[in-house]
Amino acid sequence: MKPAPFGYHDPKTIEDAVALMAQLENVRALAGGQSLVPMMNFRYAMPDHLIDLNGVAGLDMLEIGDNIRMGAMLRQRRIEFSEELRMACPIIHEALLHVGHRQTRNRGTIGGSLCHLDPAAEMPAMMLLLDAQMMAFSVRGARMMRVDEFAIGFMTTALEPDELLTWSAP
Ligand SMILES: Cc1cc2nc3c(=O)[nH]c(=O)nc-3n(C[C@H](O)[C@H](O)[C@H](O)COP(=O)(O)OP(=O)(O)OC[C@H]3O[C@@H](n4cnc5c(N)ncnc54)[C@H](O)[C@@H]3O)c2cc1C
Dist. CA 32–CA 51, nearest whole Å: 12
| Cβ burial 64-100 (10 Å sphere, 16+ → b, else e) | eeeebbbbbbbbbbbbbebeebbeebeebbebbeebb
Residue 1 placed within a domain: no
pLDDT in tens, 81-123: 999 999 999 999 999 999 999 999 999 999 999 999 999 999 9
Q: Are 36 and 112 in contact (CB under 8 A)?
A: yes
pLDDT tier, 38 (very low <50, low <70, confident <90, very high otherwise):
very high
2: in domain = no
Nearest to 55 by CA among 31, 22, 28, 21: 31
- Number of compact structural domains in the chain: 1
In angstroms, what is the span from residue 142 Cα to ligand 1's centroid?
Answer: 23
* Average pLDDT of every residue of the chain: 97
Taking CA atoms, 69 is separated from 19, 113, 127, in Å, by 24, 16, 12
Measured in angstroms, how far is the CA atom of residue 117 from the centroid of ligand 1? Answer: 8
- Which ligand 1 atom sits closest to the C-alpha of 100? 5
Please check whether residue 141 lies inside any domain of the structure: yes
**Measured distance CA(156)–CA(38) in Å, rounded:** 18
The pLDDT score that the predictor gives to residue 64 is: 96
Residue 1 has pLDDT above 90, yes or no: no
| CA 80-124-137 angle, 5° bins | 95
Nearest CA to ligand 1 atom 20: 113
For a pLDDT cut of 90, what percent of the chain falls above it? 98
pLDDT at position 143 over 80: yes
- Domain membership flag for residue 88: yes
The answer as to whether 130 is a domain residue is yes
CATH of the domain at 40: 3.30.465.10
- Return the amino acid letter for 130: L
Task: Please give the distance, rounded to the nearest whole angstrom, from the Cα atom of residue 30 to the centre of ligand 1.
Answer: 9
Segments forming the whole domain that contains residue 64: 7-169
The arithmetic mean of pLDDT across residues 27-38, rounded, is 98
How far is Cα 138 from Cα 161, in angstroms, rounded to an integer?
Answer: 10
| Residue 47 domain-assigned (yes or no) | yes
**Which pLDDT tens digit goes with each residue over 8-24?**
999 999 999 999 999 99
pLDDT at 138 over 90: yes
Per-residue pLDDT tens over the stretch 78-92: 999 999 999 999 999
Q: What is the pLDDT of residues 49-71, one digit of tens each?
A: 999 999 999 999 999 998 999 99
pLDDT at 23 (0 to 100): 98
21, 138 contact by CB (below 8 A): yes
